[in-house]
Amino acid sequence: MTRKFFGTDGIRGTTNIEPMTAETALRVGQAAGAHFLRGDHRHRVVIGKDTRLSGYMMESAMVAGFTSVGMDVVLLGPMPTPAVAMLTRSMRADLGVMISASHNPFADNGIKLFGPDGYKLSDAAERDIEKRLEKEPRLAKSAQIGRARRIDDARGRYIQFAKDTFPEHLRLDGLKVVVDCANGAAYHVAPEALWELGAEVIPLGVSPDGMNINKDCGSTHPELLQQTVVASGADIGLALDGDADRLIVVDEQGRLIDGDQLMALIALGLQARGELRGNAVVATVMSNLGLERKLGDAGLKLVRTAVGDRYVLEEMRKSGCNVGGEQSGHIILADHATTGDGLVAGLQVLAALVEAKAPASRLLRQFEPLPQILKNVRFNGGSEPLEADSVRKRIAAAEAELEGKGRLVIRKSGTEPLIRVMAQGDDPALVERVVDDICEAVRTAA
């Protein structure tokens, strides 16, 4: 069955254009609610959101959908995606919902669903919900319609959860940390957690207005963070995205540290303490060969998956690994969380910095990455440029050129009409040329 609504990370699109309309959000609430109506207990769904203007509309529509089929709703307000996953489990809910388009611009929004265990739904569960979307919902009887209520202490619960992942014997006293919250879901909780642990905090991106989420800030636009870290003499900078499930770090010299370097740091630290499980790290096909070689030197494997933190997590659960993630900054630490958590990952980085008593520039640069280029080519949403003969031939030629010298990954975005072209290898000129050639072939075919 071809999925009409769900992509690599839930449902996502431009608001007030299908599938991201209030009507569809209501129907998703009804379909997802019906999927989880099991047993004779009072059913409950937890809903969080980021700071987008459209969050009010989508939240209200989903409340109507869930309550109409008999589910009670607990509203968290603006909260990080990992907080929703954690509170879904903590509150014994049947389902968790995060209304967010993550790192996308404010005009987009999305719906991410979590099961009662706090994990994102499987493909099979999403397919069942899609089938239900095609049918008329079975509405609850009048006396069984659900109720909705807001809880006021959700932020405090999540801050305490995040702090509990930080080693008890350490504090952040004397550490100056710049944290960029992308004007998104973590704008309150991230600076507060760092301050409570003793850090001197310089907050950025903490004035959301509904339309400035991810705008020139956060993990996808770290320039202001880099400038602020250097100008303020900070020890380190942390950048989250709109829903705070990813992390990018800036060292004291203003240099970017991506998810591959962070995974190496965390995994090797756990290995040294005898706490790394599975003798491996799980990452996607986009991670740099330098990470694979660094782990190999330490006797560890790099297990690769398709792009998407849900696929990383599925492999982690299958292989028993407790560290995984994506180069883009989704870091999953299974000892603490069921999904990527930018704040929790950041706290592990800060703990390593405190213990090492070394500058971030020396500690965080775990390996020298191979030259890598990623370019995106936008195309007409109705076309399939990767199926064109001219594109296939160009890809085959590039793979032959890179054989034994590097890697090539071509994929269609699951959230936008983009073809992503990535190559990495020892020869930077070759890497750049093959990427440019394929991008041009895609543009011509599209």
Active site members: 102
The helix, strand and coil proportions of the chain, stated in percent and rounded to the nearest 5, come to 40, 20, 40
Residue 380 buriedness (CB in 10 A; 0-12 / 13-18 / 19+): exposed
* Rounded distance between C-alpha atoms, residue 18 and residue 390, angstroms: 32
Q: Tokens 């099991």 correspond to what residue? A: 38
Instruction: Give me 207's structure tokens.
Output: 């004035």
Angle, helices 342-356 vs 189-196, to 10°: value is 30
Pairing mode of beta strands 280-284, 301-305: parallel
Residue 93 buriedness (CB in 10 A; 0-12 / 13-18 / 19+): buried
Residue 376 buriedness (CB in 10 A; 0-12 / 13-18 / 19+): middle
* Rounded distance between C-alpha atoms, residue 207 and residue 214, angstroms: 11
H or E element at residue 412? strand 406-412
For residue 52, give Cα distances in angstroms to 182, 225, 243, 425. Answer: 11, 22, 10, 39
Starting from the edge strand earliest in sequence, which strands make up the sheet with 176-180, in order?
A: 200-204, 176-180, 236-240, 247-251, 256-257
* Rounded distance between C-alpha atoms, residue 317 and residue 115, angstroms: 15
φ and ψ of 273, to 5 deg: -95, 5
Angle, helices 342-356 vs 259-272, to 10°: value is 60
* Rounded distance between C-alpha atoms, residue 283 and residue 398, angstroms: 23
